[in-house]
Structure 1
Amino acid sequence: MYSFGARQAADQTAAQSVTYCSDLLEDFLKTISRMEREYLRAAFEGETFQK
């Protein structure tokens, strides 16, 4: 069985990992949203895009 201190350290590490992943996801979604706005603005203004 794990000691209380070891369990607490593992829980803290897991919480930090989840927070890090959450921050990455939030940054990703913000970037995608910004790119979508830029694309829609450009499309509305009649710019062409290369594939």
Structure 2
Amino acid sequence: MKAPPKLDDVPVISLEQLVEAYGFLFGFPSQFGVMTTQCKAFFDATNSLWES
């Protein structure tokens, strides 16, 4: 797809670390106004955090 490789200095947060964050900023590409499947899966995995 001719995409450049991901840089090594880009931080990646896990669900466990998300609990400790003061805030977060997400940016992701969209196609036809819909977020990518990977981003949607990440947000779906945080359901238990939002409930508590």
Query: Could you say whether these structures have the same fold, taking a TM-score greater than 0.5 normalized by the shorter chain as the test?
Result: no
Which structure has the larger Rg over C-alpha atoms?
1
Task: Compare the two structures and name the one with the higher helix fraction.
Answer: 1
Normalising by structure 1, we get a TM-score of: 0.27
Q: Using CA pairs below 8 Å that are at least 6 residues apart, which structure has the higher relative contact order?
A: 2
